[in-house]
């Protein structure tokens, strides 16, 4: 699996948004996290690297040893190299195991052409991923502190 595809998919869901929008969704933490995740996809579609990085905690560390700086470097490289990128996401679950921690399960499809919906994935050449993101509330903002991923199939999106 291409490391570039994994990195962009990671941040497609990780960072969509403005760093000052952590309280969107009111006082309900799950709604706040869902709002952050919606902005993640938008920022990734817009290749807004600054916004994407703003949602990554300074303490971020994934099982492959990547930290916030490595994620930022990867995103810069990816967006410079790939001018055409289309993202389709499905949030499968959002839970709060602790008041200041969230766990998000999401499916992400990345392609060089638009993806109209889950049914289109069978006919599009796309990289498909299943992510588990862990976020922590830091200074009234939800930020990503860890991510794991695996391959997904078109059937997972249905």
Q: Which residues pair with 137 in a beta bridge?
A: 142
Give the pLDDT mean for 129-154. 96
Q: State the total domains in the chain.
A: 1
How many other CB atoms are found less than 10 A from the CB of residue 157? 23
Determine which helix (DSSP H) or strand (DSSP E) holds 144, and give its type and residue range.
strand 141-151
First-last CA distance in the chain? 22
pLDDT, one tens digit per residue, over 92-108 is 999 999 999 999 999 99
Residue 25 in this model has a pLDDT that exceeds 90: no
CATH of the domain at 30: 3.10.450.50
Q: What confidence category does residue 11 fall into, taking pLDDT thresholds of 50, 70 and 90?
A: low
In the structure, what pLDDT confidence band is assigned to residue 134 with cuts at 50, 70 and 90? very high
pTM of the model: 0.82
Q: In what order do the strands lie in the sheet containing 141-151?
A: 86-98, 101-111, 126-138, 141-151
Q: What percentage of the chain reaches a pLDDT higher than 90?
A: 66
Query: Lowest mean pLDDT: which of 23-32, 36-45, 91-100, 108-117?
Result: 23-32
Full residue range of the structural domain in which residue 34 is found? 3-157
């Amino acid at each position: 699996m291409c490391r570039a595809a994994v990195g962009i998919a990671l941040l497609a869901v990780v960072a969509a948004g403005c760093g000052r929008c952590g309280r969107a969704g009111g006082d309900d933490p799950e709604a706040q996290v869902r709002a952050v995740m919606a902005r993640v996809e938008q920022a990734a579609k817009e290749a807004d690297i600054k916004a994407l990085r703003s949602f990554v905690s300074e303490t971020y560390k994934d099982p492959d040893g990547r930290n916030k700086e490595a994620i930022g470097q990867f995103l810069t490289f990816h967006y410079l190299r790939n001018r055409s990128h289309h993202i389709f996401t499905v949030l499968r679950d959002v839970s709060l195991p602790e008041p200041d921690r969230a766990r998000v399960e999401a499916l992400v499809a990345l392609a060089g052409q638009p993806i109209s919906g889950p049914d289109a994935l069978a006919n599009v050449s796309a990289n498909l991923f299943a992510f588990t993101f862990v976020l922590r509330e830091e200074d009234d903002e939800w930020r990503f502190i860890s991510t794991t991923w695996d391959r997904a199939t078109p059937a997972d999106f249905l």
